[in-house]
Amino acid sequence: MKSGDRARRQPPLSRKAKLISLAVGIILAWRVSAISIAAAHNDSNKDLVAANFAGVSQVAATVAADQRINDGDFAGAKAFATNALSASTISAASLRDLALAEQGIGNWQKAGALFSQNAALGWRDGPTQLWLAQIFFQMKDYSRAAERLDAALRLDVPNAALYDVLDSLAQNQDFAVVMSKRLALNPNWRHFYLGHVGNTPLPDLQARVIIFNNLKKLKSQATEDEIARVTSGLANLGDLAGARNLWFQAHSDTTSSIYDPDFKNIGRNRVPFEWSTLPILGTSLQISSDSNGHAVLHATTDGGASGVLLRQTTLLKPGRHTLMVSETGPAAAKKAFGWSIRCMKGKTLLNTLNLEASSSYQFEVEPNCDAQFIDLRVTSNPDVADKSAYFGGIRVE
């Protein structure tokens, strides 16, 4: 019977255990590529080279064991790891490989004993630190679990699989509090982790928000770029409410209906709750200042352009609202530029281009309209070629 068959008969691992097993595999793959004897042979003969020298070289035996663990041949890995340990019984790498081989075969108690023995040899073995982190987490010793996971994270930067492990464990808020304190010490992996999104599933990314909130309390807040990446990730995964709360709270704004109503930071195009520019041929958008130093949005058209120039996503509650616009410029230009509000699902709630010019407009948000686009639109009109409109700000109440 093959060792892979025996492993498949074992009880299914928890999601956290699967994640840790995945991270172990990532570290092993990295470690194998770093060993010179493996790196020197990029063809199919490299494993044979390691195997041929395994009887006389502990390094070769370790490489051969690593390779078989990566291939899922746990019985073969056990044989080579045992061979390596015959040369030195205090080899952390060989003890780790034997532990992983026993775990792959299904001998969980033997694996645990070997990992425990290996832990006494130091902090420099990533898979051992991950195993200890899992054990301490299951014991609800979150401080020691965080300590060991921190050690593993420091050993391999960057490592997306490890960041997924951390996000998964951080769904436990007690663990998240302890891990946040370690993040506040600015470890070498902090920046890579806080801005990591990749294929992170929604529950794990929501756990990252817990970390962000903890760091803010510790006066070690994530950077705006890191927050923007996670905000965008949450929005792309459908959690618009969570994304909006993260973005607005990070900017100490929990009451406004829209972000940056005075157009101070348009065009960064990072998150849906900022003003994103959508360039249209024949138009331009610029920021200037009025006599009081306040930002003014300067919009110009050649008269033939049509479409959306500026957009922000918002989450207005159902009911009646008022859009208030501060606009100056020639009356003709006001016929070319206007604001629209429509449901993300498609229904238009307001289009000021179809209305008499005013400083305020009423509109109704229906119960099934959870998210909306606020757009600055331009419409083709030869009479306003090279004319400009100036917007000092907008508000929604």
Q: Which residue spans of the chain are classified as CATH 2.60.120.260?
A: 276-396
> Which is more confidently placed, 386 or 218?
218
Full-model pTM: 0.74
Q: Work out the average pLDDT over 275-297.
A: 84
Q: For the domain 276-396, what is the CATH code?
A: 2.60.120.260
Could you report the per-residue pLDDT of 116-136, keeping only the tens digit for each? 776 666 677 788 888 888 888
Where in the chain is CATH 1.25.40.10? 3-249
d(CA 321, CA 252): 23
Report pLDDT digits (tens) over 213-246.
Answer: 999 999 999 999 999 999 999 999 999 999 999 9
pLDDT at residue 60, rounded to an integer: 80
Residue of 19 and 188 predicted with greater confidence: 188
Q: Could you report the per-residue pLDDT of 132-169, keeping only the tens digit for each?
A: 888 889 889 999 999 999 999 998 888 888 999 899 99
Confidence of residue 21 (pLDDT cuts 50, 70, 90): low
CB 341 within 8 A of CB 376: no
- Overall CATH class of domain 3-249: mainly alpha
The better pLDDT of the pair 299, 177 is held by 177
